[in-house]
Structure 1
Amino acid sequence: MSGGTIAIVTGASRGLGAALARQLAGSVQQLITVSRNIDPQTQQLADASGCQHVHYGHDLSDVQHIEAAALGIFAQLDQTASRYLLINNAGSLGPVGQFDTLKDAHAISDTFNLNVTSAMLLTTALLRATRKLDADVRVVNISSGAGRSPTAGWGVYCATKAALDMYTRVARLEAPQAKLVSLAPGVIDTNMQATIRSANTDDFPDLARFNTLNETGALRSPEAVAASILQYVNSKDFASKELDDIRQYS
């Protein structure tokens, strides 16, 4: 492992997370994935390239699972790598509805745990584990334009992504030895987009715009976005801004 890269990806069983993990499996020495289910294709690619793949089957909407993932990963983290890359990708849209229908406290709490708490605790654990190492430490928090511009019906989702943006800004102040960015990936053809299109206009007035994005082929594939993100991670522009958007580099 000495001199190599250890990459950690959350939400790695499908969508953008799976695309990121699959591409990293061919280029890093150790890949750690965290999601409820393992992606068989990631394992196959890792085996073929000689990458050591370790999977943690945790539900990151559950605080106990978040703590177990952080403890399990970082208690045995190899200390000799030259680069550590954490991509906090796990996230969900959460409950969709306007102020008069948001009543499910458990659903709201689960969304904050997945979208914000898991990123905070895993980032904290990585920064603590590597703070005395002479290594290149990089953290990508997958955010959204929804955290920077309000959208009716997305009170929960917008709030979680805004919180993730601000946490990233604070962590950059606290840990200058690392490079951190909160990165919006643009609109991607994933299950989340299908969930968005299943909403009704009473809860989500912007529904027509997302149907149009799908119908006109404006959604980028997870594979294309993952490739752009990993190219950005390795570029001189990485973390030059606190809040960034991958579409600026694609």
Structure 2
Amino acid sequence: MAAAANDMFSRKACVVITGASRGLGKSVAKIFASKFPSTSLFILLSRNVSNLDVVKSEILENNPNLTIAVKKFDQGNLDQTIYDTLFDSVFKEYNVTADDFEQSVIVHNAGTLGDNTKYASDLSDVQTVQANFDMNVSGMILLNSQFLKKFSNSSKGRSVVHISSLVAIQPVPSFSLYCTGKAARDMFFRVMAVENPSIRVLNYAPGPCETDMQRACREDTLDRTTRDMFQAMHTEGNTLDCDTSINKLVELLQQDQYDSGAHIDFFDDIGGHIAKAKLDS
């Protein structure tokens, strides 16, 4: 479909992407970098800086004028100083301010599968459960707040994309931590969308993409039926290439027709989903 007249990819942006060193995050970084103006600033975050440097080099091969900052960032480390200084340090290093950009975009991709070797009733280790929610929920909330604090001008475009999952709305045996974290994240952004109408918010479920997490699903999952489902999906060629899914995300963002805060899956009929969302609102 044709891009909307207010296509976000046509405007100079500061784009923040978490978990950008591999998998879906890497695809987001490379595809978004090919869409936004070369005057934009990309801030790529991950625990693995070496892999981020590789992603940066690959982007610059095709977009040599783009400014790309790579920062080591562990979303599960809830040190207040890290969150308070993250964006200030990047802006100082590249001598920019929030006012230098026409819009700001953050893609919350970083996250972990959690312990899929246990059923819900067997999750008894305090550190395991706390670390899971520190990484997948608390750290994401704190980073998101710092992003919006830095880009506080509501007259400029602000977009928040959460890489969600079908499991946010569908329970899956052995995936209690992952399901709960994704559901919590979805609801957090739904609330934020209601509180802040000036922010465009999207919960995007990318489908079963071929990633390291997908491999863990089919190899480590305790529940046999669930594990067999993931194994069959892979064997039968029903997993998705990351780029295929992220191109669908780009289409959604370009059309800009979704209700802010909506949960939209890769396999959803976009037009039908939007019509239903409007009827339900």
- Please report the TM-score for the alignment, with normalisation by the length of structure 1: 0.89
**Cα pair 2:83 2:146 within 8 Å, conserved:** no
Residue of structure 1 in register with 2:82 after alignment: 68
> Matches of 2:221 and 2:209 in 1, distance apart?
20
Residue of structure 2 in register with 1:176 after alignment: 197
Q: When you count helix as a share of all residues, which structure comes out higher?
A: 2
**1:113 Cα shift?**
2.0
Moved more, 12-21 or 68-77: 68-77
SS in 2 for 1:165: helix
Q: Which residue of 90, 93, 105 maps to 1:85? A: 105
> Matches of 1:167 and 1:59 in 2, distance apart?
20
**Cα pair 1:74 1:125 within 8 Å, conserved:** no
> Matches of 1:133 and 1:177 in 2, distance apart?
6
Residue of structure 2 in register with 1:210 after alignment: 230
Change (3 A) 1:124 1:35: same
Residue of structure 2 in register with 1:51 after alignment: 66
**Cα pair 1:16 1:190 within 8 Å, conserved:** yes
**Matching residue's letter, 1:22:** K
Q: After the TM superposition, which segments of 4 or more aligned residues of structure 1 sit over 6 Å from their partners?
A: none
CA RMSD across the alignment: 2.1
Change (3 A) 1:70 1:190: farther
- Count of residue pairs the alignment pairs up: 246
Aligned pairs for 1:180-195 (under 5 A) are 180-195=201-216
Aligned pairs for 1:92-171 (under 5 A) are 92-96=112-116, 97-171=118-192
What is the percentage of aligned positions where both structures have the same residue?
23
Change (3 A) 1:83 1:239: farther
Change (3 A) 1:36 1:249: farther
**Cα pair 1:56 1:69 within 8 Å, conserved:** no
SS in 1 for 2:267: helix
**Cα pair 1:6 1:84 within 8 Å, conserved:** yes
SS in 1 for 2:201: strand
Structure 1, residues 28-63: CA drift from partner, whole Å, max 9, x if none? 311101101132342124434111001110111221
**1:74 Cα shift?**
5.2
**Cα pair 1:25 1:42 within 8 Å, conserved:** no
Considering only CA atoms, is the larger Rg found in Structure 1 or Structure 2?
2
**1:159 Cα shift?**
0.6
> Matches of 2:122 and 2:137 in 1, distance apart?
22
SS in 2 for 1:181: strand
Moved more, 115-124 or 49-58: 115-124
**Matching residue's letter, 2:160:** V
**Is residue 197 of structure 1 aligned with residue 208 of structure 2?**
no
Structure 1, residues 160-210: CA drift from partner, whole Å, max 9, x if none? 011011101111122111111212111110000111111254x45411111
**Is residue 33 of structure 1 aligned with residue 44 of structure 2?**
yes
